[in-house]
Structure 1
Amino acid sequence: AVDAAAVERGEGDEAAQWSEAATRFAYLGRFCGESSLHLRFSVDDAMFQPIAQPLAEALWEAGVPTMVQLQPFVELPGLHVMTYMRSRAPRRYVAWQLEYKHDRVTGGDMEAYLRRAQGVWEYSRANIPLLAAHGWAAEDVTWVFPCFHESLTHTLPRVRAVADVVFMGSMSWVAQRRQRMIPVLRGGGDMVWAWGHEKIGGEFARFAATGNVSLNIHAFDDAELELTRIVPLLANQRLVVTEEGRDARLNDVLRDGVVMRRNGDLWNLDVAIRKYAKASEAARAEVAARGYAVVREHLHCRTDAAAVMPSLRALLPAWLPLPFRD
């Protein structure tokens, strides 16, 4: 068994390993002109990359060398943020909780995985009271939302829209709500729809540019706004029509930058889709520009980067010098 107190004092074999790791990274840092330790986002699915990469960029800018591991997890020296529950995890890690349904956060293997972590980053603000009710201390849980960074904006060739509506969400069996709603919205048959699920990065931005309106529909009745899609769309100045989410404060932040209608209000969603799909390009561009300004000002990754610093510091044994700028 590892003597945690001895490790914190810098004693024992594990402490020697940390010391060696720090020395190696310090040498690498001097060679590359960067800081001494790397933060590693261990991402099990490429679909999580657009969430981790913008925050990684902001952390680099804050003085924390950060990389995103897309391959299966391999424990290397450094600080680890895990974006998914794994049977094998590093001894010290932060768990970035990205489960969509809040009732899946507690209980069973997921709860054990979160409790083993040195901290929890929670993508859903509504999940935080749930974790508190199950015994998590407030200082151990940080709201880390899918955020905006300038690297999300892609320079695209000017293309003519070939669809009135682009829908980027999944239509899988878990999204039965969408399977019920979208055929109703398409019922008139007088608009061209396109489907872009599982596209990421530049491909996501290029596909969204082929439609006049980007539509966001919740997979579940009590969902929050899907920032994983909405933020990259607004970062590329696409006009977004969406339902409200369950987080009223987040709705208020985004309301001026998107076309928002009540949750489940098919009539007014249909009216909004048709209005903006047939509007002038200048009218759509005006709304899209407001959306870009909103996410850049209110949902920038600098906010997340500042919020997560205490949990990153908690990963390090106290005797190691911190590689972060204050």
Structure 2
Amino acid sequence: MTLRLLQHRAQSGERGVIAAQGDSAAFVVGFTSIRALALHAIAQGISLTAAVAAAPKGNAVDIAAEFEAGRLLAPIDHDDDAHILLTGTGLTHLGSAEGRDKMHREAAAVEKQTDSMRMFLEGLEGGKPAPGETGQQPEWFYKGDGSQLVGPTDPLTMPAFAKDGGEEPELAGIYIIGEDGTPYRLGLALANEFSDHVTERHNYLWLAHSKLRQAALGPELLVGEPPEHIEGSSRILRDGATIWEKPFLSGEGNMSHSFANLEHHHFKYDLFRRAGDVHVHFFGTATLSFSDGIAAQEGDVFEILAAPFTLPVRNVLTRAAPQEVAVKAL
């Protein structure tokens, strides 16, 4: 059975790590964060699974009940938000160009092929290189630091100036950089990457602006090799009723790039191999409510669920209050 790790915060504020396999789950004694557990495993030269197996087990826990009570955190964090980097790749999934191209119809009328379609086709051709070979680099974007990461049941807050707050059901790779600069993949988390698709549609060169938004992670870190096929559903609830729902596929079998290729083209930059840093890297999606003409509203709830994860990522959409920003000369 696949090991899943979760971070828990009790009402007292005390933190703990939970190890779950199948329907059973228990606290891992001696660790208050998954990051601390990962650093311990690296120092010992063992896997996360081995580190959990060697640690004493505490009380059993009902993770579904703890999720509903809001006591499960994002499965990775850091004492200093500046040492978490949120990044991602787009046009990585089979069919993902369709949704993007709907946003670029005007450009398509002028050009034979949009930049999005060119990048998608290049990924199809060279996104899964043979071992030892370098594949086609994907689209890449930056979302922010750890201050932009929210938990599985926390609100997703768009800026006051945002034109849209739209869900993106994805997988996220969770990484930590060892003392020698080696990136270690801890596992995968379910994610809502969350973007401003209206801003992006206005001008593709505003993609960078549209991605500077919060992102949410589901509570479970799936440890081990990534599954070849992941099937889930993404839905939006308004006043308790489902206004949009659609299945989505992920995993390498449904992608135009391999995880190894996406990881290579991120970590090839030495600034992303700084010892101790945490990386949350979003792997893309082919399923958006925006592509189906849905405009999310404040108070809507995004809910994303996909096996083998057993718990969703569920977040209400809110808007931040306006802020006055003035630059002063010194």
TM over 0.5: no
More contact order relative to length (CA 8 Å, sep ≥ 6): 2
Question: Higher helix share goes to which structure?
Answer: 1
TM-score, normalization by structure 2: 0.25
Query: Which protein shows a greater Rg?
Result: 1
TM-score, normalization by structure 1: 0.26
Question: Higher strand share goes to which structure?
Answer: 2
